[in-house]
A and B are shown apart, each in its own frame.
Chain A
């Protein structure tokens, strides 16, 4: 398959991008608003073309453990779900992180807590960026704001996951999952051969041959001294990632009066609010963190330096704002939060109004 321009939903783009990346396996369970990932994969029948395995699991719990098993074999595997399903997966995610396995996870967030709503939300920011399951670990967290980024971050997510042997998550929301846009799909890459996997992942479960010792993928270590060493190794990896992999988009942050920090779909809504503000003569800058972990703290602090206040806009009750406060670390700087909850998405006028009420006219 060559590069192709298509009109499709974000969820569909995830599926196509995965096939074209040379994915070995997908294991998932239907849940709104991300079921199109599994549906698209089943419709495309990649097992007939690339040999990719696609399986509808009996639960999210099974799906994440299938992904754990697949990744343990050095395979390029992923799963996708939405908030309640991702909560169910957290046990497996903790095991994956602790076993240092490269896995791609996708959360197309909906409003919670509980069964909540099927409508868009960004309320799983804490869960994704602070670990989510038990123990000290992080997920490389990518926040797409366009269908093109949904496509591109599949490849980026796997590249980073394999580079650092750690799970990566695409933290999307119902808007970017359900929205259709123009997307340029990359050309088809071949799946890795068994030989390539053995070379790239000497730790992988590929069957013990006489030329090597047995491989064991486990997160269990009852010797506390060794377990501390393991944890320190994980932390060293996280420090490396923090140093090298922070990503963000900055729009109009030079000499802006105020700064908005927003991610994913919400950042695009804010861009329109910024256009409205410009018409009213107020210059607003935007920092859109692309990696939510590692969080682009320096970029946020730099952009906020000369402005009069910061508005953090999220589809939640105030989660990323904690990282923004830590980044700016200035108690004299007004850092306000505007968010809608339970699946309500504010329109650009509402964000502009919040800007006026909470910062501009204060």
Chain B
């Protein structure tokens, strides 16, 4: 059998989604963003939402998400993505509107917009990447940083008396009446990726069905910020992050 006999469409087992373009990603090796981008691009394609999907990009590492997924995008000011998504969805109700935000963007400066968009039950999807640190600005403490965790602004580890406690955003969003689906996922194993994908799919369906606000938290790694190898980062995440941010659905109505 020749190589060309093998390279046939019917033998193809994997293909990059068409909407994920060939631009060189600026993410660090081992970063979770690339995987989540791929899931989103795959789903938009599979669900036939190419002309309906509108993404709102954050300030943070994913600020350039619009460079990688070929749909219409709006770049938000730091933390304001849910306010922008609110207007976009209300003015174009047939569209599938999602925000893509990190923990600095969503859980610190954007907490107000997040809680209120969810409380109004805006028919939007919030993809929340929680890696417990500010990546883009160089590894400073986020509201989600674990106690004891060393960052650029907690060089001796996060202390309650100095910095307060890690913030569990998903629990807050689940508590408001306007949210319909809140789940916590990860993308560190193929099985986890499959689960995360079906969670995001459900969230996208909710937006189209007008069921309310869906939030999918992806507990992630930041191996650069955490100063660990990608493999060690995954291990550290499972052992430490999952204890504070347990996997699974918090709300599904």
Contacts and interface: CB of A to CB of B under 8 A. Distances in A.
Nearest to A94: B77
Contact of A207 (B51, B70, B113): B51
A35 interface: no
A216 B92 contact: no
Nearest to B82: A62
A4 B50 CA distance: 45
Contact of A58 (B57, B74, B116): B116
Given A59-B112, A214-B71, A214-B72, A73 B53 contact: no
A319 interface: no
Interface of chain B: mostly helix, strand, loop or mixed? mixed
A69 B72 contact: no
B35 interface: no
B113 A65 contact: yes
A58 B95 CA distance: 23
A27 B75 CA distance: 19
Interface stretch (A217-225, A295-303, A308-316, A339-347): A217-225
B150 interface: no
A207 B53 contact: yes
A24 interface: yes
A362 interface: no
B61 interface: no
Interface residues of A, number: 38
Contact of A208 (B56, B72, B80, B112): B72
Contacts of B95: 207
Given A205-B72, A214-B73, A70 B51 contact: no
A66 B51 CA distance: 21
Interface residues of B, number: 31
B91 interface: yes
B176 to A, nearest CB: 12
A217 B54 contact: no
A70 B113 CA distance: 16
A154 B80 CA distance: 26
B90 interface: yes
Contact of B80 (A24, A75, A92): A92
B84 interface: yes
B37 interface: no
A77 interface: yes
B86 interface: yes
A206 B72 contact: yes
B87 A205 contact: no
Interface in B83-98: 83-88, 90-92, 95
Contacts of A220: 63, 75
B76 interface: yes
B83 A69 contact: yes
B66 interface: yes
Given A25-B87, A72-B84, A208-B51, A219 B75 contact: yes
Nearest to B80: A65
A90 to B, nearest CB: 11
A95 interface: yes
A66 B84 CA distance: 5
B52 interface: yes
Interface string A22-35: 00110100000000
In the A-B complex, list the 10 residue pairs whose CB atoms are closest, starting with the nearest: A69-B84, A218-B75, A69-B87, A58-B116, A66-B87, A65-B83, A65-B80, A62-B83, A70-B87, A207-B51
26 contacts: A24-B91, A55-B90, A58-B113, A61-B80, A61-B83, A62-B83, A62-B116, A65-B83, A65-B84, A66-B87, A68-B74, A68-B77, A69-B85, A69-B88, A70-B87, A72-B84, A75-B91, A92-B80, A207-B72, A207-B95, A208-B50, A208-B70, A208-B72, A210-B51, A216-B75, A218-B73
Given A207-B92, A218-B74, 7 more contacts: A55-B86, A65-B84, A69-B56, A69-B85, A207-B54, A208-B71, A215-B72
